[in-house]
Every structure is written in structure tokens, then in C-alpha cells.
Structure 1
Amino acid sequence: MAAPRLTVHAPMDLEAIPEYPLDPDLRLDSHSFIQWEHRRWMSSDMRWNGTHECKSMWFELVNLAHGETPVGTLPHDVKRLARMVQPAVDLTHFEALCQLEFGPLHGWIPCRCGEGVGTWRAACCGVWHCLQRCHPASSPALAPWPPGPRAPRPCAGF
């Protein structure tokens, strides 16, 4: 089954949206870097098919997700996302880009985060699970990985 694609104005059935698999108390404050899976990026559909503008916004959103709560999520609010990208993007233009197959929200899917709805990328969770496995004393417990049958395999270590 394919993951639900994030759309700009689609109504959602909260029961159909997966729960975010990471503990909301998890923080990456002690890590001033982002682990980047270079080979995965070099062969990704986003790299090969996205416009430079969409790839730039997509990468900025990946970076921003590291500082959000829960870590690795973004707000499920297109207006806010358009303002989070810097310089801020015109909302109408951002919404149009998000409708592209390889737009700024390519691979981001809705998730339940406690009482609300957020947006996440399964590939990012694999990196955080690797971090927890490599540094278990400094990380709170994480939900079981992988969260579903199509989840990417976490890294082997740093």
C-alpha cells in the first residue's frame, strides 16, 4: 500500500493517519549536525526529477524538521510552511509547487502527533533511530522501528 501523499487542502480522516513513531520528548539538542545519506540522495527521484527551486525548499524543510516538536515533523499548515522557508515564499506559489509530483513536500506524509496533525518523512526517522541505537544513554526510548512494511532501513551507524 502506498503512503498517503500530502496534499494542500485535502480533508483528513484522523483514524487513517499513522501515529508519529518517535517520542515527542526526543530532542537533538546535543547534535549540531544532520546525518545525510549521500548515496540515497544521489539516486533519489527528488534529486533527478525535482526543479532546483523545489529541491531547495524541500531541503530547507528537512533541516527545519530537526528543530520542531516532535523532532522530525513539520506543521500540517501550508501557510506556515510557506513562511518557514526563507526567504518566505508567496503562498499561492508555494501551493502550486506543492501540487507537483516532486514539489517541496515530496515524500512528506501526514501523521498524528498527540492531539494534532503533523507531517513527517519516514527516512528521517531511520536516522533518529540510528542515533538512539548508537547513543542509547543520551536518547529517550523510541517507538519500535520500522513503523510499517515500506519503511526504509536505518543506517548501520556513524
Structure 2
Amino acid sequence: MAVSSASTRLVAVDDASLPLYPISTGQRLETHYFTVWHHRRWLRSEFRGLADREVRAVGLDLFFSAQDEDPVGTLPVDERMLAKLVAEPLDVWRALVERQVSPLYGWRRCRTDRGALRWYHPVVLEVVQAALGSREDHLARRASERERKRLEALPGQIVRAGGGKRLAEDQMYLIRLDQFC
């Protein structure tokens, strides 16, 4: 059993019933210097519509702070750490969490691949997964372009090294040679 520290009330939580967060610990978005923000989704969100300005501002801080956490897209469950993330004194944080619509509106508890308890928000998770997918696509395109350039340069290198023209034109040989090197 874990104890909730997101508010001043203690709430028992069965760790086994919590979902497993789908992003591994240690997977970061090191070059993630911006976040996609769906402004219409935000403008029409329940959270924005129900929360007061102070709670909305702190909620936004949580959304953006989660981008730099580990695993990316999550928040710690310790209320002291959450207060630090949003630069609020602990007593102010506790008062915000006690409001009918709190900065943790929509956030849910989860377990990480290493068993740690964290908060996650489905929308933040969606944004992070899209960013990770874009990053992976970008890395794959870069790797493919590097391979294409290597294979393009290889025939000339073979001829300059004394290899025959037929060998330099054999595509299967070029691919095997590139993979070997």
C-alpha cells in the first residue's frame, strides 16, 4: 500500500492496481525545447473551464514541468517535490490541492517500469508519445540519409583502393561491405 501525499488527506492506494506507465525510466527528450500545444483543446478543456486562474496557472506549470521529469511526462507523488516544481510554498500548494478543482485535476497515479509511483496525465502522455515518435522518425531519417551517402561514396572508395569496377558496381557487395564496416 502507498500513501497519497498530493493533499493533506492520506489516501491508501493499492500499488498493484495502478497502470504501468508506457514510457521507460531514463527515456528523455533531451532536445525537447518546445511542446506542441493544442490551444483549441486547451480552450475547450474541462480543467480550464472549471479551475480558477491561480489553479490554471499552477496546472500549466505541472504540464510543462512533466516534460523534464523522469520518466518524461510524469510528476513525483511527493507533495513537497510538487510544490517545488511549481515554485509554491508547501502551505500554498496544499491549499491549491484542497480546492474543488485542483492543479492535479485529471492527473492519475501510475507505476513506472522500476516500480516508482508517479502522477501522469493522459493529455501530457499523448503529447510526449507524439514527441518521442517524431524524434524516432527524425533519427531514423537521419540514419537512412547517412547510410545512403555512405553507399553512394563506397564505389569510388573501392576503385581508389585498387578494387575492380565490377566489384564497385555490385550492390550486394556494397551493402555487405557497408554493414561490415
Fold match (TM-score > 0.5): yes
Percent identical pairs in the alignment equals 30
* Residue ranges of structure 2 left out of the alignment (5+ in a row): 140-181
Preserved contact between residue 74 and residue 118 of structure 2 (Cα < 8 Å): yes
Kindly tell me: are residues 138 and 26 of structure 1, through their superposed partners in 2, closer, same or farther at Cα, counting changes over 3 Å?
farther
Offset from partner CA, 1:81-130 (integer Å, 9 cap, x none): 112212x22x2332232122321111111111222101010111111222
Which residue is equivalent to 2:101? 102
**Shift in Å at residue 135 of structure 1?**
3.4
Q: Is the 8 A contact 2:108 2:121 kept in 1?
A: yes
What do you get for the CA RMSD once the two structures are aligned? 2.1
Q: Does 1:115 align with 2:122?
A: no
Letter in 2 for 1:126: E
The answer on whether the counterparts of 2:19 and 2:111 sit within 8 Å (CA) in structure 1 is yes
Aligned-pair distance for 1:28?
Answer: 1.0
Instruction: Name the larger-Rg structure.
Output: 2
1:135 is paired with a residue whose SS is helix
Q: TM-score normalized by structure 2?
A: 0.66
- What amino acid is aligned across from residue 54 of structure 1 in structure 2? V
Match in the other structure for 1:33: 34
Residues 85 and 43 from structure 1, CA distance in 2 versus in 1: closer, same or farther, beyond 3 angstroms? same
Higher relative contact order (CA 8 A, sep 6+): 1
- Paired residue for 2:14? 13
Residue correspondences, number: 133
**Structure-1 separation of matches of 2:14 and 2:53:** 33
CA contact (8 A) 2:97 2:103 kept: yes
Is the 1:107–1:121 contact (alpha carbons within 8 Å) kept by the matching residues of 2? yes
Does the 8 Å contact 1:7/1:99 carry over to 2?
A: no
Q: Quote how far apart the aligned CAs of 1:131 are.
A: 2.2
